[in-house]
Every structure is written in C-alpha cells, then in structure tokens.
Amino acid sequence: MDLFEFTRAIVDIESVTSNEAGIGEFLFRHLCPLAAKYGGRVERLEVEAQRFNVFASWGTPVVTLSTHMDTVPPFFPSREDDNFLWGRGSCDAKGIIAAMICAIEELLAEGISDLGLLLVVGEERNSAGARVAAKTPRGSRYLINGEPTENKLCVASKGALRFELQARGRLAHSGYPQLGQSAIDALLDVLEDIRRVPLPEDSLLGKSTLNIGTISGGRAPNVVADEARAELMFRLVGDAGPVREAVQNAVAARAELREVLHTPVFQFSAFDGLPTTVVAFTTDVPTLQATWGTPFLIGPGSIHVAHTAEERIAKRELRAAVPIYTSMVKRILASHAPAPGKFQ
C-alpha cells in the first residue's frame, strides 16, 4: 500500500480509546515483515486486557518515532478527494502513523538503523499507554512525537488539568420538588461558579481555557435528580496549583471533586531549519521524555479539524511529512553524541 492507501486502511479500523486492539493487531502484522527483512523486532507491550502498545526496533534505538493509535469518538470511516483524506483519526493521528512507517521504510532501505517506532494506546484519555511505556524504556535517546502541527516544530505546549465532578441529591416526585433535592441544580450552580474562576495568561501560550466536556445525571423528567456528573478540562499555561485551588474553593464541598489527570506545560528543544509553532493541546511527551529521550513534536495535519465531524488531512502535508521525518532521524543519528538540544 502507498501512503494514502495505508492511511485510509488504518482510519477504517475503529480505535476509539479503550478499543485499540484491532488497530494494534493490524499494525503489529504490518510491521513484522519489515522487521524480518531488516533484522528488527516487533513487540506487544501490554497495557491492560485487550490493550497494548506496539514497539518496533532496528538495531539499538538512538531515536524513536512515536504517536498514538486511539481516537476520540465518534468513529466515521475514510473517504478522499483530490486534496484531502477524511475520517476519524485521519490527522489525529493515523495519517502520522502512516507517514512515520513510510519514513522508516525509506530509512531502512537506505541501510540506516538504530531507530524505533512506538505506537501507544490511550493518549486521548489518560495516557495509559505512555505511562506503561515510560516504565519500559528501550534505550532511546531522542523521541520524535507526532501530533497535528501542520509540519511545524512545536516549541511549547499547554498543560492540562482534568476533573470529574459529582453532585448528589434526594429523589422526589417532580410535582413536589420541595420534598427532594436536585443534584442537577446543585451541579449547575457549582459549574457556574467554576466558570467564573479567573484563569492565568502567558505571553507565549496565551490564555488558559476551560471546557466542560460532559454532563449527565437524573432518572427521568418527572423525577427530582439524586445524582449528576460532569467532566472538566482546563488547558493550562503555567503552574496547575492556583487553578486547582480556585476550583476546590469554587466547589466548596457542594459536590465531590476528583482530579483525574494533570499534564504540565512543556517546553521543547530546538531543531534548526524547521518552522515553529506553539500548541494549546497536550501530548504524551511529558510522560515519555524522562525515559525515552530528548523530545521533539511535529506532524502533518491541523489540530483545528481534529476531534471534529470534519476531520481530514491535506494530502500534500501528509506526503511532505515523510521526508521531514527521514531528515530529522538522519540528522539526529549523525550528531547524537554529547550536547543535546540543538541540531545544525
């Protein structure tokens, strides 16, 4: 399969977070002949039942290409026109997987080795795959992580702080609401106070933001709700501490607040010759960088269409990503000794 065919093939495998087994098996089988041909190996790194990362290596990996196999819901299959490939995961991040594998095929055909490919599960939810990978390093000294950056090198990314919020009430007939206590009313009051929390700004990363991603609760329209829930995500531009404290104060024991994820703001190393950008999303990099090497973040596709019903990736950008990845790997391998950080 060529680059576009391969992208469509993996887009058409539904892999919403927690359901990555199908794409994991497909990619494992696809990489095995490549490993056999060039003296490499492919491993399944178990994360939990029916969920595993895929790691392929040739030689002793100095540099590892990495991205994630899971997508956000809902799934919708691929299609294409003259300029774009469409479908869930086309830019976040299955097109990136295809570009990385094509780059590795080209590098191996040129006799270049000492490289790896790490494909993880769970990035879209809680970095479950990255956390497992961080505990099982393979000696890599540099990590090229792929996310949609329009083929620009990311110099900084926002952090994330995610909470689950649960309010409890007392059931009653809706004709007599005074006999109960509405958990939904309580939840809405708390959410309104959280929305009024002032959020910090940064000259490079811009404003911190809040997204109330899910709300659920209640039993029926004629029943006073005894339970309600919400999930919140803050995109941070600095220390999480003040935001965490402000949220706790806003909730003020009116509901149960549980922090489920914190990813810090991250500053990336420079890499000469590539256009740069900053991004408002978070990645697996903060989880992986301590054990998988100096990280770089770059990939084809626009984050503005990721997670939307219009997700797509420009064919020209996808095609351009392959030589970007091959060039980065070659330059890193040529100058990986001492002085980390900046490549000439």
Question: Which residues neighbour 118 within 8 Å (Cβ) at sequence distance 6 or greater?
Answer: 53, 54, 55, 64, 65, 66, 133, 288, 292
Question: Which residues neighbour 69 within 8 Å (Cβ) at sequence distance 6 or greater?
Answer: 15, 20, 23, 24, 27, 54, 93, 94, 97, 119, 120, 121
Which amino acid would we find at residue 57? S
Name the residue with tokens 């990978």.
133
What does each C-alpha distance from 55 to 64, 147, 175, 325 come to in angstroms? 10, 18, 59, 17
Contact 297, 154 (CB under 8 A): yes
CB-based burial, 179-203: b 16+ in 10 Å, e otherwise: ebbbbbebbeebbebbeebebeeee
Query: Is the peptide bond preceding residue 93 cis, with omega within 30 degrees of 0?
Result: yes
Alpha carbons 85 and 87: distance in angstroms, whole number: 7
What does each C-alpha distance from 298 to 123, 124, 158, 318, 328 come to in angstroms? 16, 17, 15, 12, 10
DSSP type of residue 135: T
Four-residue CA torsion sign, 266, 267, 268, 274: positive
Which of 25, 105, 106, 123 is catalytic? The answer is 123
* Residue spans of alpha helices (H) in 170-233: 183-195
Alpha carbons 176 and 72: distance in angstroms, whole number: 41
Has 5 been annotated as catalytic? no
For 254, the token pair is: 């009116």
Alpha carbons 202 and 191: distance in angstroms, whole number: 25
The catalytic site residues sit at: 123
